[in-house]
A and B are shown apart, each in its own frame.
Chain A
Amino acid sequence: MADTPFILQEHQFQRLKSVLARLCVECAARVVFLIDRDGQPIAFHGDIGDMDMTSFASLAAGNVAATSSMAKLIGEDNFPAVVHEGEHESIYISIIGRALLVVVFDERSTLSLVKIRSKRGSFEVAGILEEALAESESYRANNNSFFSEITDDDIDSLFS
């Protein structure tokens, strides 16, 4: 059986957005993303310009998955963060449970600032995600999903 669907309610999404907005300012970042570890974008705040966020999310998740496996091969349990430093733009990715907090920043900020501020914000993000996950599981347990109302015709209409 596949995993329990992860359901994010509107109020949880808005709370995550406001944490990301604050983090973006505190880190002096260009953009802050929250991504599911499977590569699904959850929320973001900042200037994404013409960046393809969906591709970015899948690559960030693949990146973290690969480095986490490398950690295990050398006897580490995990690498809690991954950093990529470029000439102008840099990326800091930290793992928060089953999500990834990604901060994209340039010369206006520093890695140490981003690390410190991200750590503080990550506790709030973790709290909201845990709440959403617990509610997702109780949704499934109580079998009261909105999706139980989806009919065969609804599904067939996607392919007509």
Chain B
Amino acid sequence: MTFINYASREINCKIVYYGPGLCGKTTNLQYIYDSTAPQAKGKLISLATETDRTLFFDFMPLELGTVRGFKTRFHLYTVPGQVYYDASRKLILKGVDGVVFVADSQEERMDANIESLYNLEENLQTQGYDLAQIPYVLQLNKRDLPNVVPADDLTGELQKKHEPVFEAVATNGTGVFDTLKAVAKQVLTELRKG
């Protein structure tokens, strides 16, 4: 739920990065964190296991600038990708304003992408949202690896509603900010509609 505070003149929105385990959700956030000026970001919080797998969520606040005198602040979250953390994923989707689905482009992860996308639709419905209605972007990550599915095939399999699709290599930042901008823009456009 977007929170608009007229006293502090702030718009706060929540964006969730979703996708199968090890697809690069945390890497997206880490790259955004590392590439953003200190005054525009807060701390990157990672609730992770001892082996650095996301246990509950990663979180970072990011200030994009001012629209009509209102500071726009995006709260970026990732979900844990592993199948058995479904209860946590549901919780993190509460109050979401926009979703980025990070797909793993490797052939052997195709089934995991499809399962995770299905899980996203189901969990959104549980929270009273409809993927067809919510601001949404598809990111095809790990395009630098040798065994990737062609982007057109991956898009054909995973695209749900003509959402923007970005090829990415989150480890070096390719496509990371394009993805973020696309979803943030949709969120603000949605806000304008009222």
Q: What residues of chain A have their CB less than 8 Å away from a CB belonging to chain B?
A: 1-10, 13-14, 36-40, 42, 52, 54-55, 58-59, 62, 65-66, 69, 139-140, 143, 145-150, 154-159
Q: How would residues 57 to 95 of chain B score, 1 for a CB under 8 Å from any chain A CB and 0 otherwise? A: 101010011011000100101000000000110011011
Residues of B within 8 A of A36 (CB): 1, 3, 95
Contact B190 A2 (CB under 8 A): yes
Contact B6 A62 (CB under 8 A): no
Select the stretch in B26-34, B126-134, B139-147 that faces chain A: B126-134
Contact A6 B4 (CB under 8 A): yes
Contact B42 A154 (CB under 8 A): no
Closest CB-CB distance, B108 to chain A, in whole Å?
32
Q: What residues of chain B have their CB less than 8 Å away from a CB belonging to chain A?
A: 1-8, 12, 14, 42-43, 45, 47, 56-57, 59, 61, 64-65, 67-68, 72, 75, 77, 87-88, 91-92, 94-98, 129-130, 133-135, 181, 184-185, 187-194
Complex-state Cα separation, A59 to B12, whole angstroms: 16
Residues of A within 8 A of B95 (CB): 3, 36-39
Looking at the complex, which one of B2, B43, B75 makes contact with A6 (CB distance below 8 Å)? B2
Looking at the complex, which one of A4, A69, A139, A148 makes contact with B1 (CB distance below 8 Å)? A4
Residues of B within 8 A of A3 (CB): 1-2, 95
Q: If A69-B91, A150-B191, A150-B192 touch, does A52 touch B2 (CB 8 Å cutoff)?
A: no
Residues of A within 8 A of B133 (CB): 1-2
Complex-state Cα separation, A129 to B68, whole angstroms: 25
Contact B67 A158 (CB under 8 A): yes
Residues of B within 8 A of A9 (CB): 6-7
Looking at the complex, which one of A8, A55, A149, A154 makes contact with B43 (CB distance below 8 Å)? A55
Contact B185 A159 (CB under 8 A): yes
Contact B134 A2 (CB under 8 A): yes
Closest CB-CB distance, B45 to chain A, in whole Å?
5
Closest CB-CB distance, B164 to chain A, in whole Å?
13
Query: What are the 9 tightest A-B residue pairs by CB atom distance, in nearest-first order?
Result: A38-B95, A13-B7, A3-B1, A5-B2, A1-B133, A65-B91, A145-B194, A40-B3, A10-B7
Contact B192 A148 (CB under 8 A): yes
Contact A149 B68 (CB under 8 A): yes
Closest CB-CB distance, A110 to chain B, in whole Å?
30
Looking at the complex, which one of A4, A5, A42, A54 makes contact with B42 (CB distance below 8 Å)? A54
Complex-state Cα separation, A55 to B187, whole angstroms: 22
Q: If A62-B91, A150-B188 touch, does A55 touch B42 (CB 8 Å cutoff)?
A: yes
Residues of A within 8 A of B72 (CB): 158
Residues of B within 8 A of A155 (CB): 67, 185, 188-189, 192
Complex-state Cα separation, A62 to B74, whole angstroms: 17
Contact B4 A5 (CB under 8 A): yes
